[in-house]
């Protein structure tokens, strides 16, 4: 007799509010696409898993632990949906773990990360443009993405290009660890000389990067970098998981999940 389970895989967060507003909200949206099926959670960040265990005595499964738990409970088929933004290092590692268990289930189907094809890009751009439709001409919005050395980093400049092509000339995308980087974004913003810069994370959760690298009090935070340029600066600590359109897109990807 077949028994299907749903596994939602996230990088993770140690912030309870970010977990509830973003990761749990996405898990619930994915679960709503499969009424009656059990949804379980896995994190790919070993550091966050260890921190939660030490600080809160809360155990979150790794991908392999989650797969073992499904097997132990008699599940025969799985739908796995990552909450990753790009098809990068974390997503590759998740898929490697899944492949090693593929023969132990009747089927393992995997949904795409948030930004996989052009229709995903356009949906995200529309959602962001709608949310920030009140931007004035002298206000610029700068999104902080994570960035990576992985070739999937190409998503960020492509998304930025599509923003501009769509007429959103006062929205920019930068990354912490990839391209476009902060120095480039600062130069591009400087050419337009806005009065105010609004910073927002282009990440699933508003976690350490958003709270420290973006909005922190450190001298090298993005907030202080732009303040030193003479702009008025405000920060929005809102992860992508808080946008309804983003949650719906993850649910759609889960429904379209394909075999490994």
Active site residues: 146
Of the candidates 140, 121, 114, 259, the one whose C-alpha atom is nearest the C-alpha of residue 198 is 140
Cβ–Cβ under 8 Å, residues 178 and 156: yes
Instruction: Say how many C-beta atoms besides its own lie within 10 A of residue 212's C-beta.
Output: 12
Distance CA 24, CA 259 (A): 25
Contacts 24+ apart (CB under 8 A), 55-63: 55/14, 60/12, 62/97, 63/7, 63/9, 63/94, 63/97, 63/98
């Amino acid at each position: 007799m077949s028994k299907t389970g749903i596994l939602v895989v996230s990088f993770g967060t140690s912030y309870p509010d970010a977990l509830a507003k973003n990761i749990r909200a996405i898990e619930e949206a994915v679960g709503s696409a499969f009424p009656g099926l059990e949804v379980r959670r896995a994190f790919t960040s070993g550091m966050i898993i260890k921190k939660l265990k030490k600080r809160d005595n809360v155990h979150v499964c790794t991908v392999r632990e989650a797969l073992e738990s499904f097997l132990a409970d008699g599940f025969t088929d799985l739908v796995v949906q990552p909450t990753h933004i790009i098809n990068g290092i974390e997503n590759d590692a998740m898929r490697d773990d899944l492949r090693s268990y593929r023969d132990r289930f009747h089927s393992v189907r995997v949904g795409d990360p948030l930004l996989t094809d052009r229709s995903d890009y356009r949906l995200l751009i529309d959602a962001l443009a709608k949310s920030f439709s009140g931007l004035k001409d002298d206000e610029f919005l700068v999104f902080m993405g994570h960035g990576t050395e992985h070739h999937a980093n190409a998503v960020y400049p492509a998304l930025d290009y599509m923003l501009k092509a769509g007429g959103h000339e006062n929205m920019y995308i930068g990354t912490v660890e990839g391209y476009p980087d902060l120095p480039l974004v600062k130069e591009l913003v400087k050419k337009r000389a806005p009065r105010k810069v609004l910073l927002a994370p282009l990440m699933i959760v508003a976690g350490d990067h958003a709270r420290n690298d973006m909005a922190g009090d450190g001298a090298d935070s993005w907030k202080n970098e732009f303040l030193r340029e003479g702009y008025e600066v405000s920060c929005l600590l809102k992860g992508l998981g808080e946008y309804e359109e983003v949650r719906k897109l993850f649910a759609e990807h889960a429904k379209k999940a394909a075999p490994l």
